[in-house]
Amino acid sequence: MRMVDLITKKQHGKALTTEEINTMIEEYTAGKIPDYQMSAMLMAIYFKDMDDREKSDLTMSIVHSGEEIDLSAIKGIKVDKHSTGGVGDTTTLVLAPLVASLGVPIAKMSGRGLGHTGGTIDKLESIPGFHVELTQEKFIELVNKNKVAVVGQSGNLTPADKKLYALRDVTSTVESIPLIASSIMSKKIAAGADAIVLDVKTGAGAFMKTTEDARLLAHAMVQIGNSVGRNTMAVISDMSQPLGFAIGNALEVKEAIDTLNGKGPADLLDLCLTLGSQMVHLAGIGKDLDEARSLLEESIENGKALEKFKTFVASQGGDISVIDNPELLPKAEYQVDILANRAGYISEIIADELGIAAMILGAGRATKESEIDLAVGIVLHKKVGDAVKKGEALLTIHTNKEEIPEVEQKIWEGITIADSAAPIPLIHEVIT
Ligand code: URA
Ligand code: CA
């Protein structure tokens, strides 16, 4: 196999064979194929696409480029959830205990946040004492005992993806459906998932700006998962405005606790129940998605989901008194309300702008090395479609800096009040 011939083949829109894909990824990971040739291949894939079989082959070749987590010591079907990323997305904090409360094992490997979207680990670490440094043995023991544990990323998983992603970043080949789909799916599979639920976001705050692109990506990932023996379902959900009300680490933990108490924002609850019912159903519980959803609703009502959250937090060293009393979570020094400058209806709360505003406050990392401030962030009081009076508080900024003109400016770039506006639907499509 000569790499130049494979580039020519793909350039002409022909499908690469399984063996060609496997050899190419193996040799690229080993440093035997130079970046300039792989760059040309990525550009050829970008323009010529891949068929379903090629996408599955590419995914599995990336899985096999490194270690794979072996979760076979955990009893039951391990279902993982992946979100393509958004602003104020608190779903994992709610879903992990909620789904586990029905006996579904949740063995979650999570990351820290980069940029204006938060990471689950950062959020959890705003609970005093909570830690994610668990050995593989302890992690498995906790999942078997409590049905839920979260561990930080470790090990040499999918090294081919790390190399390819860095190369795509500098060759303008990130936005390619086969490349994104194989990148995301390879990481979930290498992390040991038996079944996968995907939350593909669409809108201004999302990686996929249009619903059509989100749909193509979701279908590609579902096809890959199902064809490599991991039952996969997906939801396409709105990320044009932030999810729920809270953006920021400790603020989102409080929002998750409220949701597990049955007092959370309607959109966050709806998304958790939609994704959660897919997870429960894939784990073999409930005769259909509707029954799975009812079981989850019951678990919130009877307190089992919140109880499971306490067990989970306590077993990873966290102080559970914050769950009964969220006032004990890290708190910012100042609270500044942003007031409506006219009466009308909220027509826009651009997720990206609000996410960047929260990052400037210190809730997110501008670079990998940035320190984050767990207490700060933004709490919305209105969502798109809501009526406002002049002078009414649209949102509250939680800050440890006295002067925040840049943050206020960003927020005003993101919010529009118009004469009329309709609410934005949250769920665009459910793919089963
Ligand atoms: N997220 C990933 O993990 N991979 C991509 O290619 C794009 C987004
Ligand atoms: Ca939120």
CATH of the domain at 15: 1.20.970.10
| Residues in contact with 104: Cβ distance below 8 Å, sequence separation at least 6, in sequence order | 76, 77, 79, 147, 279, 280, 283, 285
Q: Which residue has the tokens 């209105």?
A: 382
User: Taking the model in full, what pTM does it have?
Assistant: 0.95
Interface ipTM: 0.93
Task: Check whether residue 102 and residue 140 sit in a common domain.
Answer: yes
Q: Is residue 66 part of a domain?
A: no
Query: Which pairs from 285-291 meet CB under 8 Å and 24+ separation?
Result: 285/102, 285/103, 285/104, 289/432
pLDDT grade, residue 150 (50/70/90)? very high
The answer on 188 and 41 residing in a single domain is no
Q: Which of 324, 355, 375 is the last residue of a domain?
A: 324
Report the first-to-last Cα separation within the chain, whole angstroms.
39
Q: How far is the CA of 401 from the centre of ligand 2 (A)?
A: 22
| Domain count along the chain | 3
**Whose CA is closest to atom 5 on ligand 1?**
180
Q: How far apart are CA 118 and CA 111, in angstroms?
A: 9
Regarding the beta carbon of 184 and ligand 1, being less than 6 Å apart is answered yes
> How far, in Å, CA of 217 to CA of 207, rounded?
11
Beta bridge partners, 110, equal 152
Helices (H), 30-104: 35-48, 52-63, 91-100
In this predicted structure, what is the pLDDT of residue 206? 86
How many Å lie between the centroid of ligand 2 and the Cα of residue 346?
18
Rounded to a whole number of angstroms, the CA Rg of the chain reads 22
277 and 351 fall within a common domain: no
Residue 10, in any domain of the structure = yes
- Distance CA(243)–CA(374), nearest Å, equals 18
User: What pLDDT, on the 0 to 100 scale, is given for residue 103?
Assistant: 96
Same domain, 166 and 279: yes
pLDDT of residue 371: 87
Please tell me whether residues 35 and 154 are part of one structural domain. Answer: no
CA distance 366 to 354: 14
For residue 254, the domain's CATH number is: 3.40.1030.10
pLDDT number for residue 1: 82
Give me the amino acid identity at 339. L
Rounded mean pLDDT of 340-352? 97
Q: How far apart are CA 222 and CA 212, in angstroms?
A: 15
Confidence of residue 178 (pLDDT cuts 50, 70, 90): very high
What is the token pair recorded at 3? 């790499």
Angstrom distance (rounded) from CA 373 to CA 262: 28
C-alpha to C-alpha distance for 250 and 159, rounded to whole angstroms: 32
Residues with CB under 5 A from ligand 2 (ion): 88, 90, 243-244, 246
Which of 183, 209, 216, 221 has most ligand 1 atoms within 8 Å of CB, for mutation? 183
In 3D, which of 58, 51, 46 has the Cα closest to residue 21?
A: 58
Collapsing DSSP to helix, strand or coil, 80 comes out as: strand
Candidate from 11-25, 111-125, 346-360 with smallest mean pLDDT: 111-125
3-state SS assignment for residue 35: helix
* Claim to verify: residue 389 and residue 295 sit in the same structural domain: no
- Residue 105 pLDDT greater than 80, yes or no: yes
Q: State the catalytic residues.
A: 82, 161, 168, 183, 187
Residues 90 and 226 in one domain: yes
The answer to whether position 69 is within a domain reads no
Confidence of residue 25 (pLDDT cuts 50, 70, 90): very high
Residue 205 has pLDDT above 90, yes or no: no
The residues that bridge with 79 in the sheet, in sequence order, are 195
Ligand 1 within 6 A of CB of 180: yes
Residue 244, helix vs strand vs coil: coil
Q: Are residues 338 and 320 in the same domain?
A: no
What was the pLDDT predicted at 119? Answer: 86
220 ligand 1 Cβ < 6 A: no
User: pLDDT digit string (tens) for 220-237?
Assistant: 999 999 999 999 999 999
62 located within any domain: no
Report yes or no: 132 and 124 within 8 Å, Cβ to Cβ.
yes
Which is the closest atom of ligand 1 to the Cα of 187? Answer: 3
Query: How many CB atoms neighbour CB 183 within 10 A?
Result: 21
Would you call 89 helix, strand, or coil by DSSP? Answer: coil
Name the one residue in this structure whose structure tokens are 């680490």: 249
| Nearest CA residue ID for atom 2, ligand 1 | 184
Same domain, 348 and 410: yes
Looking at residues 186-197, what average pLDDT do you find? 96
Same domain for 313 and 350?
no
DSSP label at 76? S
Q: Specify the DSSP class assigned to residue 343.
A: S
- Return the half-sphere exposure (C-beta side, CA atoms, 13 A cut-off) of residue 287: 0
In a domain? residue 423: no
Q: Residue 414 maps to which CATH number?
A: 3.90.1170.30
Do 83 and 150 share a domain, yes or no?
yes
Helix/strand/coil percent split, the chain, to 5: 45, 15, 35
Instruction: Determine, yes or no, domain membership for 61.
Output: no
pLDDT mean across residues, the chain: 96
Ligand 1 atom closest to residue 179's alpha carbon, by position in its atom list: 6
pLDDT-derived band at 110 (thresholds 50, 70, 90) equals confident
On the question of pLDDT at 257 being above 90, the answer is yes
Instruction: Identify the domain boundary among 324, 341, 360.
Output: 324
Instruction: Indicate whether 207 pLDDT > 90.
Output: no
Residue 301 and residue 286: Cα distance in Å, rounded? 18
The model's confidence at residue 366, banded by pLDDT at 50, 70 and 90, is confident
Residue at a domain's end among 324, 346, 363: 324
Q: What one-character DSSP code corresponds to residue 339?
A: E
Task: For residue 309, give its domain range.
Answer: 79-324
Query: Could you tell me the two tokens for 234?
Result: 């997906």
Q: Is residue 60 part of a domain?
A: no
pLDDT for 47: 98
Edge-to-edge strands, sheet with 415-418: 387-388, 344-349, 415-418
Interval between CA 197 and ligand 2 midpoint (Å): 20
Choose which residue among 172, 180, 182, 217 to substitute to test ligand 1 binding: the one with the highest number of ligand atoms within 8 A of its C-beta: 180
Per-residue model confidence (pLDDT) at position 139 = 95
User: Buried (b) or exposed (e) across 19-32, using 16+ Cβ within 10 A?
Assistant: ebbbbbbeebbeee
194 with 306, same domain? yes
- The confidence score (pLDDT) of residue 209 equals 86
Q: What pLDDT is recorded for position 124?
A: 95
Q: Is residue 392 part of a domain?
A: yes
Model confidence at 118, pLDDT cuts 50, 70, 90, reads confident
- The answer to whether the CB of 185 falls within 8 A of the CB of 50 is no
- DSSP assignments along 220-285, one per residue: HHHHHHHHTT-EEEEEEEE-SS-SSSEESHHHHHHHHHHHHTT-S-HHHHHHHHHHHHHHHHHTT-
pLDDT of residue 85 exceeding 90: no
